[in-house]
Amino acid sequence: MRIWQADFYRRPWQDTAGQGLWELLICDATRTFEYQAICPQSQANSNWLISQIELAAGENLPDSIQVFRPQSLSLIGLAGTQLGISVEPTRRTFALKQWLEERIPQYSPNNAYNPLALDKPPPTPLPENLWGEQWRFATLPAGDIESAFTQRPIPILKLPEFLLPINLGLASTIPVPGVVIYGGRQSIRLARWLQESRPVALNYSAGDLSGLILDAGLVERWIVATFADQEVVAAAKAYEERKQLTQGLHFLLVQPDDSGVTYSGFWLLHQD
């Protein structure tokens, strides 16, 4: 399967007539394939993209294009539809982001322009009809994660290969931190909503009213829980400290109750 990562966005450049310039970058996950093109503001549309994708691909169009920037998604999505290429919104375009970082001196001599910066909305509370009945912090031995969940009939199971503890080089005994939500009757509905939202990371946010913030999709953020109890705050700090020991790896588990008999959804998460 041929997968590209792409970004199409205006850069801090102008042509000789003062017209803004857009840049298209395309690469694969190993960067053995790279393609770059400049587009005047007046031509920045899906038709221009279609011509460039065809030029870059030759006779071998990609099966999928991954996009991390919300502003690029609509135009690349239109081009993908016309060409029969699926377009996947994801934050995990690691090779493309590395390339963009390397190009910062070309964008701005004083490095003032950050091509990875995205406008992120304030976090939004979860829809009330999805709230679980209870939640708690938990840990699982790194060596048990894959076997514990792949052998169970879980409706939604997301264990990305690159996030498996063994592929991160984590010792099997190291505790991987996570959050368990007991959803009761809403358990499977909550799990499905989470899956549609594409969870990325679940972070503790300190403040007058502390809470857990779910990063999802490309820039979305959701308030999963708020708390002021000092014991819970201490547990949240311990949760973040454990994430530092697991290279940011953590998990989210949704189940109807604490019986351990039925699970609704499990996700391995990692800060992008």
For residue 114, tell me if it sits in a domain. Answer: no
Task: Examine the domain organization and report whether 128 and 66 are in the same domain.
Answer: no
For residue 45, tell me if it sits in a domain. Answer: yes
Q: Is 189 left (phi over 0), alpha (psi -120 to 50) or beta?
A: alpha
pLDDT tier at 18, thresholds 50, 70, 90: confident
Query: Is 247's pLDDT higher than 80?
Result: yes
Query: Is 71's pLDDT higher than 90?
Result: yes
**Beta bridge pairs of residue 163:** none
Half-sphere exposure of 23 (CA within 13 A, CB side): 17
Boundary-marking domain end, from 107, 137, 169: 107
pLDDT tier at 17, thresholds 50, 70, 90: confident
Q: What is the pLDDT averaged over residues 236-245?
A: 96
For residue 113, tell me if it sits in a domain. Answer: no
Q: If you average pLDDT over every residue of the chain, what do you get?
A: 93
Contact predicate 144/159, CB 8 Å: no
Question: Residue 195 is part of which domain span?
Answer: 124-270
Query: Is 167's pLDDT higher than 80?
Result: yes
Position 155 scores a pLDDT of 93
Provide the percentage of residues in the chain whose pLDDT is more than 90.
80
Angle formed by the axes of helices 70-83 and 46-57, nearest 10°? 70
Domain total of the chain: 2
Nearest alpha-carbon partner for 201 in 219, 228, 188, 181: 219
Q: What is the pLDDT averaged over residues 182-205?
A: 94
Q: What is the DSSP string of 126-182?
A: PPGGG--SEEEEEEEEGGGHHHHHHTS--SEEE--GGGSHHHHT--TTSEEEEEEEE
Nearest alpha-carbon partner for 194 in 262, 121, 132, 259: 132
pLDDT tier at 152, thresholds 50, 70, 90: confident
Position 16 scores a pLDDT of 80
Q: What is the pLDDT averaged over residues 197-211?
A: 90
Position 30 scores a pLDDT of 97
Q: What is the pLDDT averaged over residues 197-216?
A: 91
Position 54 scores a pLDDT of 97
Residue 57, token pair as written in the block: 């691909």
pLDDT digits (tens, 9 = 90+) for 85-143: 999 999 999 999 999 999 999 998 777 899 999 988 899 998 877 877 899 999 999 99
Task: Examine the domain organization and report whether 141 and 57 are in the same domain.
Answer: no
Nearest alpha-carbon partner for 189 in 128, 115, 267: 128
Residues 6+ apart with CB under 8 A from 142: 165, 166, 170, 171, 172, 173, 174, 175, 176, 246, 249
Q: CA-CA distance, 109 to 117, in Å (whole number)? A: 17
Boundary-marking domain end, from 80, 107, 134: 107
Task: Examine the domain organization and report whether 131 and 264 are in the same domain.
Answer: yes
Task: Examine the domain organization and report whether 144 and 15 are in the same domain.
Answer: no
Q: Is the pTM of this model over 0.85?
A: yes
